[in-house]
Amino acid sequence: MKKLKYLVIILFVTLAGCAVSRGTINSFYEPSYKVGSVTTLAVPSIRNARLAPSESQKIGRSVNKAISDKNPSVKLMSANRFSNLLNDLGLVDDYSDFIEDYVTSGIANREFLEQLRNNNIDAVMLSELSNAYQKDGAYGYNKAQTRITLTFTIMDTRTNDVIWTASADGIKGSATTMAEAPALVEAINLAVDKISTSVPKL
């Protein structure tokens, strides 16, 4: 009877457990940056986001609100307006090349940034979703987990300098070993919360 009782307790702990929800962040703010230099900030869509458009827009609004709350005088250019501007200027391919070059080399194309500067954009905020991982729970072995990395970088179009960058991990786990992996957006929201607390004074 006692053995049966212990087995029931072990089974309950294995199945119930505690859900894991956490976000971690690493950030950098250029110490030589002069606050007040940015009056217009372009905010393109999140790169590599495996999300529905509505979810991507919701995340963008959350980060944009955090920036606006801390920088009420800075004008934000939305992802749609930025996309329209690139189309009007014939810079869609140039922007794609700019992103790929920066991601692979860490060097920003000065000529592209100058074109943004010439259209009254003082800085651009690049964002990327990476390291997406989802694993369903396996009875008796592991709980379900979803984790992602979300990175935001604000770049000065005049100096090519990175004003601020922050990389946050969002980790969402299940409470049992019999659950499916949490939705990607749940882990993203945890990372967004961390990013939002780190936005700089521009």
SS3 189: helix
Sign of the alpha-carbon torsion through 90, 92, 93, 95: positive
Please, what is the angle between helix 79-89 and helix 92-105, to 10°?
Answer: 110
What count of other Cβ atoms lies within 10 Å of the Cβ of residue 89?
14
Concatenate the DSSP letters of all residues of 1-30 into one string.
-HHHHHHHHHHHHHHH----EEEEEEEEE-
Pick the CATH number of 18-196 from 3.40.50.10860, 3.40.50.10610, 3.40.50.11900, 1.10.3720.10: 3.40.50.10610
Q: Given a cut of 70, is residue 37 above it in pLDDT? A: yes
pLDDT of residue 155: 96
SS3 assignment, position 121: coil
How far CA 6 is from CA of 13, 47, 139, 143, in Å, comes to 11, 50, 18, 21
Q: Are 112 and 95 in contact (CB under 8 A)?
A: yes
Q: What is the pLDDT of residues 109-161, one digit of tens each?
A: 999 999 999 999 999 999 988 888 888 888 777 888 889 899 999 999 999 99
**pLDDT score, position 49:** 62
pLDDT of 2 above 60: no
CA distance 133 to 37: 38
Retrieve residue 94's tokens: 């140039």
Confidence of residue 1 (pLDDT cuts 50, 70, 90): low
Can you tell me the mean pLDDT for 160-174? 91
**Structure confidence at residue 182 (pLDDT):** 87
Q: Which residue has the tokens 């859900």?
A: 19
CA atoms of 46 and 26, how far apart (whole Å): 18
The string of pLDDT tens digits covering residues 115-126 is 999 999 999 999
Location of structure tokens 């090519």: 160
**Model pLDDT for residues 56-115, shown as the tens digit of each residue:** 777 888 889 999 999 999 999 999 999 999 999 999 999 999 999 998 888 899 999 999
101-111 pLDDT, tens digit per residue, is 998 888 899 99
Cα 133 → chain centroid: 15
Supply the pLDDT for residue 12: 44
Tokens of 19: 């859900």
- Does pLDDT of 9 surpass 50? no
pLDDT at 29 over 70: yes
- Residue 184: per-residue pLDDT: 84
CB 167 within 8 Å of CB 150: yes
